[in-house]
Structure 1
């Protein structure tokens, strides 16, 4: 608990800093897990983050139910760090413990300042003990040496222990524990590599603040895993050993208002495109007699009624440019307010929103400049002078953006720093002084409270925004766009840079680091023509078949093309619902495949396939329904003169692969071909890697139809890498994780009153009602529409399995959509 009268006396606040030797150790994941686990115990946890980061405090807020705070000596001043920590511990009620997540490595701060604003600096300013989070996946005893070195580097710090992260096995963790014991280092826990704890920072940054209550439920698995593997009692013991803090809790400077005085409204940009705003900003606005009202530039048609000021903070406008640009009614209203002289502060994303254009998308056009994405990241602390107030002390802030604005300045600049003018200070209404202050610089108003006072003065004296100029309702995603050719439609067609992807079944946003390194190490060999022999042999060994029973292909799509062009048959049949590529390949080759619909969720089975079909294509597990057929069911489809093609593109994410036809004994493979893909599970869809396994004669015929060098060098190397014992163990871990995440998705869908189809794949299909797919796009989520799958219709969507945090953001949006539409007319469940 926090005690004290408000004077500069002692405040008892148990607290701990979670730090790391460097970035990438899993510090955020462990910090969020600890916060969630302590909150699950019923403790009030005050979260904080070292540095200017906007995204991690969003996780903290979800985990604790309290506002995430930033502690940055550079932007806020050293003297304010302890007061700001205490302020967060007081509000909304006294905290039982504060958990402070560090930044980068323990001693890494502003360059050239010997660690100023580092985690160690903040730990010293707050007199907090430090617990290190160390990724031990690539080391064992050396970990103790690293921790010992960090503990010894600065004797002013209390490095009280270590949490081991990403342990490969209990034996591996025990080896590190013994080495730590030799160095007298206390180990507070060990998180296994496959704990199922994952924090996708970009997606959480896109979760609107108002979804917190829904999304907090997703942290249950984080809390459980953390409580199981980390000694929370020992961690609390460390936190409670912290000395009392002697400081006055920070309070924002307050404006004196007479009873009945108006509190002008300030429209504050929020939603998924504007997630970057410090908690103290709203508190300073309120203390200055203003009423901040959050609006969403993606979905709201107009500014809040009675708007007298605009605060447009940071976020991802370039990512959401298409959705923002389509909301013309709000852009027109913002432009009218700014041109009318409504005081406006626009930082980074907010400045971009006011430009004429961002990456070809038309925006508010009140600043005559354009921005484009750049490969170069602009990142760093800045010390700036406001030319409009040259006598004021410099303001400290930071830049973090990948866009470039041209012209970079025009008229009076917003700031001067690093010997150059930056940003825009404009007077569009002819007020005689700038009413728009827009730049890339993010500032923290707690460190420069005069900025809040100046803005509040302008709002109290300024005009009200005019009425919205002719809102026409939502001008985007009002209905489904028709699909031209269903057999050519793919989940990738659903994507938009503004949307979170639940439409494509690629497992992760990028390949695993070890696969990327392996591929990079083979770039020097690209001058030679590719050879697939070694990769073919590796795949054959992986499945226990002869090399001549394997053909590497340019993804599963090429496998279907080779089957369609290289084999002889008269009456092809594709079992639906099914991935579109077999149909498309057969039709491109001049065949007329017969669709045969099997609704497994209604009790229909494969034994209904007509006997006259001499080519049968079936998915297992089936895309899009996720139905898993037994080996016996599939082998029963074999007939003399029939070719049976089984698409096992997602079989590797079925734990044990027990239904696979190439992972167990098949006495006779005559007439059988199995299609496999590496692209989805290993996140290399852009590389294209797959293969055929089966009947020797059929494989040879497909090979004759394949162009020379169809499988490139890197795809062959990917096949070699992904068939290694270590890689197969990794996939087995992913399969278990995917199953857990799918169960979470299914449970939450059922909690919404929906009845998803039984699935064993990394996706789930569910009937949600006509029009829901389009409305989810409005909410910022891409899902796979299902009317392109024979046997399904527009009332169905397919959802890729994602981590629980991202899943719950989608389901919160789905819940809102269903509430607006009155819910789906769902099918009768199976009896």
Structure 2
């Protein structure tokens, strides 16, 4: 008998907050000193990544379909003891408690798993839209299957104490303990996209968010009660799982298998590497976006799941590795490619050229493929003889054209899919590429067959490079104001970073944080579409902004982005000596010039880090415009320095479009007393809304009234007003805090990487970095797939300067990889 304290965290349905609660419980128990093992019901790859982050142990899966019912208890025991014995195991469920494979009466559901493992169940219920009805739901869940023991309930998204007390009383009257209540505005969640949550490995800020989640979980939930429930689980009679071994392979030298990892390849089961090691292989992880070569001595390749479609632009720029992987596969190096691996080996994904070893192209598709399938090998493949039968699952939103080759990898429920190829003509397939995911603990014969091929195959004509030499670099003739594919810039003040991007380029030129608005904000916008028949009403938006900043409503003017505010400013400006401090965003000066006003420029100096000396501002300047933090330098001017610029008869205008990237915004000039000060804000950068245009001005009532008189009717749309309201609530503020923390980490990563290349970037405080790289470097980086913002359109800067948007370390490392090659090659030529 084996003692494994354990519990299952389930839900009444998807979307109840099960993952957030499960990860919070894992993190809170771990921080309380418990050694916690984690498991996920079903095939999900993403949640176990958060489990691993929370517990410091491998996240594992328990799936009767993929692994077989007979292996569930052994795998549970294995996870509880590897890499060290755990105090308890927390198992996160899937979908609703009784939801399993369709047509099977709940087979492979959370309830099925709880029954197989005799585990007590704690149910998470979203109570935001109900009160006593929650008790009826709990009653149904508890009595629907007598083999499932519902040991407690966690109430999520409570609107108030009064609300949660009502629910708690009704549930506890059933004899079911309520183990905690999480408020509606807890503000902790993981972002999502087309296949669910964004993997933890793609979120450097995830650790920061996890710390807050652990604190809130410990505050709101009864951790001791959860441990007590887990400890009451009965002992189990089974032997822990162990990977299979092969006597035939045991005496052979270890063979190295390159396993794709990094942010684009986050999906693989922990047991896969354990199984390969037991079969005499040495798994070595490489990052297809960053590493310029396969691990030395590679004799097999395993490309698992992930999101190459999201990172296709960065992957496609790593030309040297793409060529090496292509050579390896075509030379007969045994290669298994599952889903993301298939896409990586294809000719292109959404137009981005990739390895090209599989004769197909892929593109995003509006329809999600998500299903369990039975797969049969139609012929001999790398993974087994003809007739090999396995259980697997598909999970993707891309489609390949064509969908399969003459020799398909599998028949999925009878339909051919994937490719089984012999590219080197060895008379036996060495490439297996398919959308199908399999679990090698459930089908160890697949791992054995692959390991045998790795040990016995001698690839033809494949020799890895002995040193990392860069590809040839050409240096185009650079004409000021021109570049290939771009017309001459007639007016630098009218140039914006979006004109420097195009399909196929990794965009580091535009300073918009997100590619799409957060899911919750997008939903608010969708909900507002029904109001579009009425003319916009921004009164609620103005109130929300005023509340957010602690000022009167008469001090706030919603605008169609910061750009409209600059136009309105130019219309009311009657300055005799206007001054614009440069380098900064060019739109303020452009707006003044379009209104017939020619401002004086004060140029800050790179030698002192573009800091502001107040004495350089003419004493009689009656209009002064400056950015803070300043675009493009990223310099944050101290509040005291800007306050010293206030004068009677002067309007001091501060462009704070990026102030929300600064923690707690201590240097903002927004305050209760703003005589002679006007602050302009933008919401488009932080919230991924450049196409919507949402901003506002804050200043004295007199200045705001003057601006409003020149504003066209209904210039702020209903959707923009919705954004202004939505982004001021507590959940949005929590998300901004997470974004600020992530931006800070990512920015330091970028600054450190640039310095490691011998460059001297300006010390930025915001979401972009200005750096002097040399004339022609930007154009060369463009040829290598990266769009950087040109510096010579900002007054005071020349073509040797570029501005680089802060992105995730994965994207930045790819850019640094190419920049290092370009700089080194240019030095060699010089």
TMscore range, shorter length: 0.7 to 0.9
> Aligned equivalents of 2:769 and 2:206: distance in 1?
21
Structure 1 unaligned residues grouped into runs of 5+: 1-9, 821-831
389-398 vs 289-298, which moves further: 389-398
* Residue correspondence of structure 1 range 15-30 to structure 2 within 5 A: 15-30=6-21
The offset of 1:464, in angstroms, is: 3.6
* Counterpart among 646, 651, 661 of residue 637 in structure 1: 646
Alignment of 1:230-309 (within 5 A): 230-257=221-248, 260-309=251-300
Task: Give 1:311-710 correspondences, 5 Å limit.
Answer: 311-388=302-379, 392=387, 394-464=389-459, 466-468=462-464, 473-474=469-470, 488-490=495-497, 504=511, 506=513, 510-511=517-518, 513=520, 516-524=522-530, 526=532, 530-531=535-536, 552-564=558-570, 567-575=573-581, 578-586=584-592, 591-595=598-602, 597=604, 606=614, 609-619=617-627, 627=636, 634=643, 637-640=646-649, 642-649=650-657, 664=672, 673-680=678-685, 684-692=689-697, 710=715
Q: How many residues align?
A: 790
Once the two structures are superposed, residues 656-676 of structure 1 have per-residue CA deviations (whole angstroms, 9 ceiling, x without a partner) of: 98987775255xx5x654434
For the Cα contact (< 8 Å) 1:137–1:167, is it kept in 2?
yes
Deviates more, 1:97-106 or 1:810-819: 810-819
Cross-structure match for 2:52? 61
Match of 1:714 in 2: 719
Cα drift, residue 173 of structure 1: 4.0
**Cα distance change, pair 473–247 in 1 and its aligned pair in 2 (3 A):** same
Distance 1:654 1:460 in 2: 54
Q: Is contact 2:187–2:734 with CA below 8 Å preserved after alignment?
A: no
Q: Is the 8 A contact 1:320 1:498 kept in 2?
A: no
Conserved 8 A contact 1:342-1:462? yes
Partner of 1:244, secondary structure, is: coil
* Distance across 1 between alignment mates of 2:55 and 2:820: 27
How far is 1:50 from its partner?
0.9
Provide TM-score, normalisation by structure 2.
0.80
Structure 2: how far apart are the matches of 1:675 and 1:323?
35
2:199 to 198, 202, 205: 205
State how far apart, in whole Å, the 2-side matches of 1:271 and 1:679 are.
Answer: 30
Describe the shift of the 1:174–1:380 C-alpha distance in structure 2 as closer, same or farther (beyond 3 A).
Answer: same
Q: Which shows bigger deviation, 359-368 or 36-45?
A: 36-45
- Return the offset for 1:463: 1.3
Indicate the residue corresponding to 1:95 in structure 2: 86
**Contact 1:14–1:97 (Cα < 8 Å) also in 2:** yes
Question: 1:321 and 1:161, CA in 2 relative to 1: closer, same or farther beyond 3 A?
Answer: same
User: How far apart in 2 are the matches of 1:433 and 1:471?
Assistant: 32
Q: How does 1:133-212 map to 2 (within 5 A)?
A: 133-195=124-186, 197-200=188-191, 205=199, 207=201
Hey, what does 1:823 align to over in structure 2? Answer: none
RMSD of aligned alpha carbons: 5.0
Tell whether the 8 Å contact from 2:580 to 2:599 is kept in structure 1 after alignment.
no
* 2: CA distance, partners of 1:742 / 1:172: 37
Instruction: Kindly state the Cα deviation for residue 748 of structure 1 after the two structures are TM-superposed.
Output: 10
Query: Which segment is superposed worse, 180-189 or 570-579?
Result: 570-579
- Per-residue deviation, 1:618: 3.5
Cα distance in 2 between the residues matched to 1:112 and 1:224? 41
Partner Cα distance (1:150, 1:201) in 2? 28
Segments of structure 2 that go 5 or more residues without pairing to the other structure are 482-488, 822-830
Match of 2:105 among 104, 108, 114: 114
C-alpha distance in 2 between matches for 1:781 and 1:675: 31
The 10-residue stretch of structure 1 (421-430 or 601-610) with the greater mean CA deviation from structure 2: 601-610
Are 1:348 and 1:442, in contact at CA under 8 Å, matched by a contact in 2? yes
Q: Secondary structure at the match of 2:151?
A: strand
1:423 Cα shift? 1.0
Change (3 A) 1:75 1:621: same
In the alignment, the residues of structure 1 paired with residue 816 and residue 130 of structure 2 have an alpha-carbon distance, to the nearest angstrom, of 45
Distance 1:111 1:570, change over 3 A: farther
Structure-2 change in CA distance of 1:300 and 1:134 (3 Å): same
Distance 2:238 2:469 in 1: 52
Tell me: CA distance 1:768–1:17, structure 2 relative to 1, closer, same or farther (3 Å).
farther
